[in-house]
Amino acid sequence: MSNTIGHSLLHQTLLHPTVLEQQTKINSCNISGNSFFLPKSTANQAKSQIRKSPLSTKFRSNNVKTTKLPMGTQGPVSVVPRAVLASEPTSELAGRFNLDGNSDLQVRVSFPDAGSISQVDLQVTNSSNSLVLHWGAICDRHEKWILPSRYPDGTRVYKDRALRTPFVKTGSNSFLNIEIDDPAILAIEFLILDEAQNKWFKNNGDNFHVKLPVKHRLNLNVSVPEDLVQVQAYLRWERKGKQMYTPEQEKVEYEAARAELLEEITRGTSIEDLRAKLLNKNDKNQIQKPPISETISKIPDDLVQTQAYIRWEAAGKPNYSPDEQLREFEEARKELQIELEKGASLDEIRHKITKGEMKTKATPKKKNIVERIQRKKRDLMQLINKYVAGSETGQEKISVKPKSLTVVELYSETKKEEDVGSILSKKIVNLSGMELLVLVTKPDGKTRIILATDFREPLILHWALSKTGGDWLEPPSTILPDGSVSLDKAAETKFGQISFGDPPCQVQSLEIEIEGEDFVGMPFVLLSNGNWIKNKGSDFYVDFSTKPKQFRKDAGEGKGTAKDLLEKIAGLESEAQKSFMHRFNIAADLIEEAKDFGELGLAGILVWMRFMATRQLIWNKNYNVKPREISKAQDRLTDLLQNIYKSHPQYRELLRMILSTVGRGGEGDVGQRIRDEILVIQRNNDCKGGMMEEWHQKLHNNTSPDDVVICQALIDYIKSDFDISVYWKTLNENGITKERLLSYDRAIHSEPSFRRDQKDGLLRDLGNYMRTLKAVHSGADLESAISNCMGYKAEGQGFMVGVNINPVSGLPSGFPELLQYVLTHVEDKNVEGLLEGLLEAREDLQPLLSQSNDRLKDLLFLDIALDSTVRTVIERGYEELNDAGPEKIMYFIILVLENLALSWDNNEDLIYCLKGWNHALNMLKSKDDFWALYAKSVLDRTRLALATKAESYQRVLQPSAEYLGSLLGVDQWALNIFTEEIIRAGSAASLSSLLNRLDPVLRKTANLGSWQIISPVEAVGYVAVVDELLTVQNKSYERPTILIAKSVKGEEEIPDGTVAVLTPDMPDVLSHVSVRARNSKVCFATCFDPNILVDLQAKEGKRLHLKTTSADIVYREVKDGEVEVAGPIVVKEESSMPRLTLVRKQFAGRYAISSDEFTSELVGAKSRNISYLKGKVPSWVGIPTSVALPFGVFEKVLSEDCNQAVAEKLDTLKKKLKAGDSSTLGEIRKTVLELLPPSQLVEELRNKMISSGMPWPGDENEQRWEQAWTAIKKVWASKWNERAYFSTRKVKLDHDYLCMAVLVQEIINADYAFVIHTTNPSSGDSSEIYAEVVKGLGETLVGAYPGRALSFICKKTDLTSPKVLGYPSKPIGLFIRRSIIFRSDSNGEDLEGYAGAGLYDSVPMDEEEKVVLDYSSDPLIIDGSFQQSILSSIAKAGHAIEELYGSPQDIEGVVRDGKIYVVQTRPQM
């Protein structure tokens, strides 16, 4: 459209009313079904084509084709728009797409009548049962997805960016129906996700794009005057820069203009208002002046140059290139042109420029914005903190004695123990030295109020009933207690003296019982000797409407909680729910008591505050409180929390979590500004009625964190061009419904409604107001947290007047610039640089958080905000990782792990994981062949760290959540997921997600596959799913069973009837349970693929056939009636199993013997084997010196006169055990520890140890001998371990015949410990040795310590070339001082057909020290030559011992200073 065309058209429009020829037939055949589906990149280009209607009217040259009406004919002609994409008002196949092989997607779109709902029907053929639609909607002028308020059941909001709706599976197909009732929505876009396989289906690499019938919302029988359509078309032509259009484009633009006007009409605009709006806007500006092309030429160049200078100043006086200067001149000319179009003359423009009143849209040019910060090199070891709540931290542990109950509290407990029915509420009020109990119960549909006090003077209750919560009504005479007096709108009842308890106590008490549900509460005051007693100047009020709570009977025992504190909180809840001021002040009153309870006390406060923050508790009830009072109470509470943070570092993690739920607060004006500034908004923007006035009343009555959401919803609503659905979308996504708005004491009934001329002012003022709201309510808001630390000052009018917050002192240099970098980039799509900036800021803060600072609270809130931002940023960055390689994923893991390490107490394990990831990343960059194998071990350890933290939260928080939640009537679903939601609120969940992304990549690169086969046995059985193998280890399954066990620690027994154990856990290949599985011919394997595990768990109860190789398991379902025999399995009937027999050993007359005296009559195989090795193994293999307490010594000691009482007690307990009472096992072990040593035993053992060259513990002091004697007794007592006892019963060993010798050896303070199997146990290959190595003592290898050992194989033909199969992931190593170990050596070990080794205990005289391991500095991991040397030596030692015995051996040993020591060997089972 040329300028002259536009001008001519405008004059025709205004001076000659015309109509277009009515040709509205629609040729729907020109649009195929697939035109609904457009790649996102072409969607906008196609929009006009979809809207087109082939009208004959065209713009050509100066002419508009018109038809003049005869005189007297009324016009304009009515035009009835219809849905462009439909030929009939039903539905049409919009497209068919192949998703995957034989799976197709079909989409149908309905074409509704006016006012009805658009429907999109999707069908996926031959689909899985785990399809989810990942979708959003597209509106006018919005490229980003919006989330419709109407969506199918089961839909969940995904990260506030999309909706996820599950398909419904019917037969082999999946179906989904979506209804769209929002006329602003033009299209939906979606992807399809198969959640089980984590597989996405796209439309040629892009989103599926479904156009909805655009005119479905315009199908109104409305006349649109053609002159207005022509004006709108002209305005569109202007908006688009007065382009030259082809005839076809003119037609499209004309119809688009008609659609825009119809859209205005559907919103309620009348034709008259539309005409006034268009003509007022254009009449004086465009008709009464020459064409724009003429105007532009008349703008003097000196004005353009002056305006360009103004723009240059506004942009910060940048250095422009010649091309930029020309562009700036053109922009200046356009700004002046706009002023002319508004009606200003050139003289008026010149005057405005002279006065400095000329505005410009130029903004300061960004100055050299840093795209990436340079991170400082830091020593990660400096980040380690070892603060552990509940452990010795250098401070004396405070023991909290239960406080004695007051008389009123005792009376309350007495009444609650009676059958008083459900308890509605309990409250004890302190009034000038006296206590008043108000207990409300619900017996048999009645409401009973129990009042009691320790007040000594005669007391009268002046009371009434209420139906609304604020009125006083005279109680019915039928419910008045005896002796009551009726008054006008009230009654008076005397308290009576009551004695109770033993010893007896006295209180004044009375009870009132009310029938029915007519009344909601009871107001009252007290009267004594003519004096009125009130509740802080107000009436007391008893609320009957509270949900019934069971304080004692249904709340459990409160084990693992600060029970007394939680019950006190529950008793105060009715007071706390009045307002945030009350709640925060009560919490502040309780915080010292909570600290005295220690970790569990603070956990109770956290749980209570978390219930508040998640709206499980009432925020405000019948109480008007000023915002500054709330802010002051917050400030008081957070100051106390800050002080505990300083003085009790072991609780810092809990305290940070409490602070994040409470918010920042602020003394005085910060809170009051909430009240004041809403008035400024109303006054500045002329919006004093409707919703804004209702919100104003709510804010004055009781502000809450909901106000932050309401403010954001208003901002979003205004920014969306006043789309009310956007307002509700923001509210609903943040948990605020219409019902919640109506539930406020000052309810919000209305929706917002603003004029367009209010837009700019409201956005400005609400944006400022949001800062005030967040300053009070949001502890994790980044911008306000930064402002609070950096300081700000505001002067002048309106918002923030007189606010002056000084910067925190002592901030590191460059810190303000770092925070500015974070704020500048906080919305970046590529988040890597932003994450680095956030973490650098947190690192800079760490030293300040451990120092004394009167502004510590502000620094803590800043750190909490930075931490929270990391989590949201990493979630936003997932898309960045979709096509990323392992190097980038590993770097993101490093960043998130660093963030966690900065947030958690006792973070040593995380720091070593972090160092491990850095080492793995360096290995990858240097193209080390083993980088993936090493990274997998670090990944496994990181997962263990996350699991340990989750277990810690579960242990500390969940009992308190369940007990307090039951006292307060919190919804059960909220209690069930309490700890889970705490974990998900931090970045641990993000880290777990990243690990899940990387795991399959590492397994594939390292050729690990989905399984580690520990015992390769073919099996057929029925699937059973259990949480822990430990819980079923003593069970007997009646049919062959495949156990899917989520947890296997390593020391469990395998239940009878089990043919396979499959687990995601990672027990060592040489752990007890692994050896048991191989000996029992039970399939045992670790599964690394979560999808396989989910599939196996889904087959619970079904019969499967497992076929194993050395690296994989293939399984299939065995149908009913199908005969399936697993390869080598021979199922033995219980009666056919050989009965093993033991020979009772007798005391041989000696309490102690040396190694050269070891025989089968005196000691077990363990002692004999170690003696046999002496002098026969190569000289470079060390054998520790040994002595033993032989068989029969225990029985001899027990028979001594000094131990007669112990013997009698043991005899009684053993009879109970034989009768089937296995609970006596623990008592038996305790009883054995009561034995006293005969003097001859002490003397003989001392002589044998000294003559063998071993140190005698008693030479140090008597206490050392007592330690040794206790260790010996623990070895004897281990005969009655549960695991050992039930194991011997399974094979029908006579437990009474089991005898225990004790092998005594000096402990070698090992650098490493190892276990060797000289035939590979996983493959059965006798040509290669398999071994596992741990750092420190071997107990972490053979005991139930989580994580994997370093594992390797070595061919016997090439013992100098060990091959590492897996790197270690065990976080803990055990180390000990020079000491003695006492090893079990029974006659029930290493029997043919039964492996008893490992069932009984070996006990060191001294306790081992647990050390968190740093593998990144371990030479066995990072020094290739050292690794080759040590592993080769271990393999050579194993081969030498195997050759010595002539059979496969199971060998244990240690490495000290590079030397190999073997501590025991036995035949490999």
b or e along 937-962 (b: 16 or more beta carbons within 10 Å of the residue's beta carbon)? bbbbbbbbbbeebbebbbebbbbbbb
Distances (CA, A) of 1322 to 778, 1015, 1325: 56, 6, 8
What is the distance of C-alpha 856 from the center of its chain?
27
Choosing from 134, 1072, 1105, 1317, the catalytic residue is: 1072
The neighbour count for residue 303, using CB atoms within 10 Å, is: 18
Count CB neighbours of 313 within 10 A: 11
What are the residue ranges of helices labelled H in 801-831?
815-825
Q: What Å distances lie between residue 371 and 366, 825, 828, 865, CA to CA? A: 12, 9, 11, 22
Q: Is 1340 left (phi over 0), alpha (psi -120 to 50) or beta?
A: alpha
Could you give the 3-state DSSP secondary structure of residue 1165?
Answer: helix
Tokens of 1023: 């699937």
Cα distance between residue 908 and residue 1411, in whole Å: 10
Place of tokens 């040259």: 61
Non-local (6+) Cβ contacts of 166 within 8 A are 131, 132, 133, 154
Of the candidates 996, 1441, 981, which has an alpha carbon nearest to the alpha carbon of residue 1180?
A: 1441
- The H or E element that residue 64 is part of is strand 63-64
CA 1110 vs CA 1107, 1124, 1324: distances in Å: 10, 22, 9
Question: What type of residue is 657?
Answer: M
Under DSSP, is residue 736 helix (H, G, I), strand (E, B) or coil? Answer: coil
Q: What is the rounded CA–CA span in Å between residue 191 and residue 183?
A: 23
Q: What is the 3-state secondary structure (H, E, C) of 1049-1113?
A: CCCCCCCEEEEEEEECCCCCCCCHHHHHHHHCCCEEEEECCHHHHHHHHHCCCCEEEEEECCCCE
Whether cis (ω within 30° of 0) applies to the bond prior to 364 is no
The burial of 445, by beta-carbon neighbours within 10 Å (0-12 exposed, 13-18 middle, 19 or more buried), is given as exposed
Is 1072 in the active site?
yes
CA 714, 715, 720, 722 torsion: positive or negative? positive
For Cα atoms 557, 559, 563, give the angle at the middle one, nearest 5 degrees: 80
| CA–CA distances in Å: residue 488 to residues 460, 522, 531, 1021 | 16, 15, 19, 81
User: What does the alpha-carbon distance between residue 1232 and residue 1155 come to, in Å, rounded to a whole number?
Assistant: 26
Token pair for residue 899?
């963030």
Helix or strand or coil: residue 789? helix
By the 8 A CB rule, do 1068 and 1050 touch? yes
**DSSP state letter for 88:** S
CB contact at 8 A, 621 and 668: no
Cβ pair 1009, 1089 in contact under 8 A: no
Alpha-carbon gap, residue 53 to 252, rounded angstroms = 8
CA distances from 416 to 404, 407, 965 (A): 18, 14, 18
- Please list the alpha-helical segments (H only) found in 474-598: 563-576, 580-597
At what angle are helices 782-790 and 759-777 packed, to 10 degrees?
70
Residues carrying an active site annotation: 1072
